[in-house]
Amino acid sequence: MSPPRLTGALRSFSTVSKKEDFNEQLYDLKTKRLKRRELFAREGVTWQKIVHLCSENQDNAKQQAELKSLLQAAKEI
């Protein structure tokens, strides 16, 4: 009788193999989104405050740099 294959054992007891439970991943994503929404609500970050901050800062070069970094952060989310 041949010994058991090591690759099968590694796949069984590690996170290398594809997870079968997609509901858990979806639940984790919903939980992360809910936590992020609650954090923003507590900190009071709103579009009105962002617009006010951008219009308050009149230096175009700095404003463009800040808007680019804000756009990059939005893409990462």
Q: What is the reported pLDDT for 60?
A: 74
Q: What is the reported pLDDT for 18?
A: 59
The C-alpha atoms of residue 33 and residue 14 are separated, in whole angstroms, by 27
Neighbours of 63 (CB within 10 A): 15
Q: What is the reported pLDDT for 41?
A: 77
SS3 34: helix
Domain ranges of the chain: 20-76
Q: What is the reported pLDDT for 49?
A: 79
Does pTM top 0.85 for this prediction? no
Cα-based distances in Å from 2 to 6, 23, 76: 12, 38, 49
| Amino acid (1-letter code) at residue 74 | A
Positions of the chain with pLDDT under 50: none
Q: What is the reported pLDDT for 37?
A: 84
